[in-house]
Structure 1
Amino acid sequence: MDFQLTQEQRMIVDAARKVGERFGLDYWRDIDAKKQFPAECWKAICDAGLCGVALPSEYGGAEQGVFEMALIIENLSAAGAGSTVGQLFMINPIFGGVSISKFGTPEMKRELLPKLIAGDINFCMALTEPDAGTNTLEIRSFARADGDGWRLNGRKIWITAVDNAQKMLVVARTRRVEESESRSSGLSMFMIDVERKGLSHSPIDKVGTNTLPSSSVFFDEVRIEPHELVGTLHGGWRELLDVLNTERIVTTAGLVGAGELSLKLAVSYANDRKVFGGRAISSYQGLQFPLAQCHAEIEAARLLNYQAATNFDRGLPYGSVANAAKLLAAQVAARATERAMQTMGGMGYAKEYHVERLWRDSRLFRFAPISEEMILNYIANHDLGMPRSY
């Protein structure tokens, strides 16, 4: 498969790299320390036309593909943002943009997509629950019929960027499991206001990804209006998968960029650092080999991700390769950031040298948005034909 970039794709990459360099390492270090949402950077991304790269042109998007989105995220990440920039694309053009463009009403598309693409509105998605985790079919949040709308009760956990969002894509049961023909039936999606009576949220104190807060969310008799239904009532499971499936690709793109950036910082430091007779420490194989190994694995994850994104854009099966790419990318990003810190010695532990943030942030993606164990389950079951183990 040929991944030579077209002229238009090279222009997209150049635009992403320029925005990324404007908001480089120092910017991200500062807002990480403040636990501040990267609003200024995200607006610049949108102003450059990068947010809407895969969204419909009639609402201001570029109507390209997920491959182009992966290129953008890689370059923003490698220029200084690190792995968390993938989450910015996940919450907005995917959770917000894909759900609305594919399943929203015409009115919802006209109202929200131009604002999303322009960076005037942010989204989040409330899916994960304390007692369900990866097993979405076990969610218990329930929206009962109430006149022409619904009343929602329940709890969600580890919801990204609630504090900074105006709209929330909520996944809830609208029909009890015992009343449904299957466990996958009876789920529905809604697009509601974050500021709404009965909806509350509290922050989760965490190790990294501080620029995108995580929260527990509580619903207490939250009113949902009829026009806020996204997709098919009781039939949201398959539609939800269309929203979720690309998250592997954007996550991998962020991790690939973070790994690339970590190696760049490590090599730069090692080339400058001279000890034991004035030789640069980069001349020692004990430092070279681990970094070279990480480079090879980053390139493998990158190419797998390109294949997944290209298959998605062509309407071909892509789940297996997307899962494999995410597995490798999460593991090598963890190793690359760790080895970069080890290369720098004590200075790798200092915030001044940036790698500790990349290390803290990338660790999340060993188990989010899907754990490596669940990916291995998928590969064993779907790709190797082994019996389901859970």
Structure 2
Amino acid sequence: MPDTATTGTDLDDLRARTRALCAGFPDAYWRETDRDRRYPREFVDTLTAAGLLSVLVPTEYGGAGLGVTAASVVMEEINRSGGHSAACHAQMYTMGALLRHGSQALKDTYLPPIASGELRLQAFSITESAAGSDTTAIETTATRDGDDFLISGHKNWTSRIAESDLALVLARTSEKAADRTRGLTLFLLDLRQVCAEQPGTLEVSPVRTMFNYATNQVTYRGVRVPADHVVGQVDAGFRYVIDGWNAERILLAAEAIGDGYWFVERAVAYATGREVFGRPIGANQGVQFPIADAYMKVRAADLMRYEAARLFDAGEPCGAEANMAKHLASEASWAAANTALDTHGGNGFVDEYDVERKFRETRLYQVAPVANNMVKAFVATKVLGLPRSY
């Protein structure tokens, strides 16, 4: 279990450490990586060396042994500094499936080098174009072949697989049954072994998106994975994926909150320093009121983030809180983004002010890792008891 007794002082220290490291990667760095759609390897290497990407790994495996609350602070600070945590956030929550459901042998083999930074687990290969949000409808298969499984199929939105040493892959191992959640198996794929020993079985096609996300389409052509690399039990993988969704939503909420604070801070600075008609534009209530409103929305979402993280770290049910945190944070960051753009006027569209870059980046959170309408459906049915719509 993670350390659930992390104090405010500990979190303040972690926040300060993260902020100090992020200060070494100014706006110009993120502008350049965004323009070239280049993976920010220097940034990820720096955070890895500092142990900030292994805060969730237990101490017995070389990590910090902290909880999701602490991990969310790291993610928030990356985005609040003007960075883009998509380059590294997946290692936080994908590792949880291995930690909670992997065999002892898998954990002993892979968690220590993940904690040290020797290996990276950044890729979660699940989504398929036809299935979309209906994960139980995926068609990528894994068929038994002696002591191995052979994985064949196509995935889209598999991010950072080119930057990873390991990947988690969800594939169908049994036909669809009455229980739609059965029949899917989660595999830990050692990409180093595949590339070295199985040429031609794995095809990665980069997908250029509106911001720098290092995502890909992936085709599996009989990729061989040992049966002892099944995470948990065969046919039960969907449950392990769901188990990580709450942590993912909390961490993504923290990233959106970091963006929200960044937009507010930039809007305040610009409105204070920009003078038109002989006075700062921030003296006009038409400018200052939207900024104040955006700040209050971000603060409110922040409280839900901490409540969801508290419940998660205490081992208590937090599905509703995690989903609501993600929804509220994504809506708040988007409101703050529009306010910052309006405050900057025409300069908001100029890349050197970085508002347009962050504007594009923060729009993701309303769509992924779960669309906000899906969150509303969850709250409506699971919390309020309304009839299911799908």
User: Secondary structure at the residue paired with 1:163?
Assistant: helix
In the other structure, the counterpart of 1:133 is: 132
In the other structure, the counterpart of 1:207 is: 210
Q: What is the 5 A alignment of 1:111-150?
A: 111-123=109-121, 124-150=123-149
Supply the distance in 1 between the matched residues of 2:285 and 2:113 (Cα, whole angstroms).
52
Supply the distance in 1 between the matched residues of 2:44 and 2:110 (Cα, whole angstroms).
17
Structure 1 residue 133, shift from structure 2 partner? 0.9
Q: Which amino acid aligns with 2:182?
A: S
5+ residue gaps in structure 2?
none
Task: Call closer, same or farther: CA 1:181–1:387 in 2, change over 3 Å.
Answer: closer
Identity of matched residues, %: 33
Which of these residues, 91, 97, 100, is aligned with residue 99 of structure 1? 97
8 Å Cα contact 2:152-2:223 kept in structure 1: yes
User: Secondary structure at the residue paired with 1:55?
Assistant: coil
Q: Which amino acid aligns with 1:375?
A: V
Q: Which amino acid aligns with 1:271?
A: T
In the other structure, the counterpart of 1:11 is: 13
8 Å Cα contact 1:93-1:116 kept in structure 2: no
8 Å Cα contact 1:21-1:80 kept in structure 2: no
User: Secondary structure at the residue paired with 1:160?
Assistant: coil
Query: Is 2:316 aligned against 1:323?
Result: no
8 Å Cα contact 2:62-2:112 kept in structure 1: yes
In the other structure, the counterpart of 1:292 is: 292
8 Å Cα contact 1:312-1:318 kept in structure 2: yes
Structure 1 residue 86, shift from structure 2 partner? 5.1
Structure 1 residue 267, shift from structure 2 partner? 1.2
5+ residue gaps in structure 1?
none
In the other structure, the counterpart of 2:378 is: 378
Query: Is 2:188 aligned against 1:191?
Result: yes
Q: What is the 5 A alignment of 1:45-84?
A: 45-81=47-83, 84=84
Q: Which amino acid aligns with 1:145?
A: R
Alignment coverage as a number of residue pairs: 379
Deviations 1:188-239 (CA, angstroms, capped at 9, x unpaired): 111113334411111112111x1x3111111111112122211111112222
Q: Which amino acid aligns with 2:204?
A: H
In the other structure, the counterpart of 2:344 is: 344
In the other structure, the counterpart of 2:231 is: 230
Supply the distance in 2 between the matched residues of 1:354 and 1:6 (Cα, whole angstroms).
31
User: Secondary structure at the residue paired with 1:257?
Assistant: helix
TM-score (norm: length of structure 1): 0.94
Query: Is 2:247 aligned against 1:246?
Result: yes
Deviations 1:288-318 (CA, angstroms, capped at 9, x unpaired): 1111111001001111010000000001111
User: Secondary structure at the residue paired with 1:340?
Assistant: helix
8 Å Cα contact 1:125-1:168 kept in structure 2: yes
Q: Which amino acid aligns with 1:315?
A: G
8 Å Cα contact 1:86-1:251 kept in structure 2: no
User: Secondary structure at the residue paired with 1:143?
Assistant: strand
Supply the distance in 2 between the matched residues of 1:93 and 1:335 (Cα, whole angstroms).
27
Q: Which amino acid aligns with 1:116?
A: I
In the other structure, the counterpart of 1:274 is: 275
Bigger drift between 297-306 and 263-272 goes to 263-272
TM-score (norm: length of structure 2): 0.94
User: Secondary structure at the residue paired with 2:144?
Assistant: strand
User: Secondary structure at the residue paired with 1:151?
Assistant: strand
Structure 1 residue 4, shift from structure 2 partner? 10
In the other structure, the counterpart of 1:310 is: 310
8 Å Cα contact 2:6-2:66 kept in structure 1: no
Supply the distance in 1 between the matched residues of 2:11 and 2:160 (Cα, whole angstroms).
29
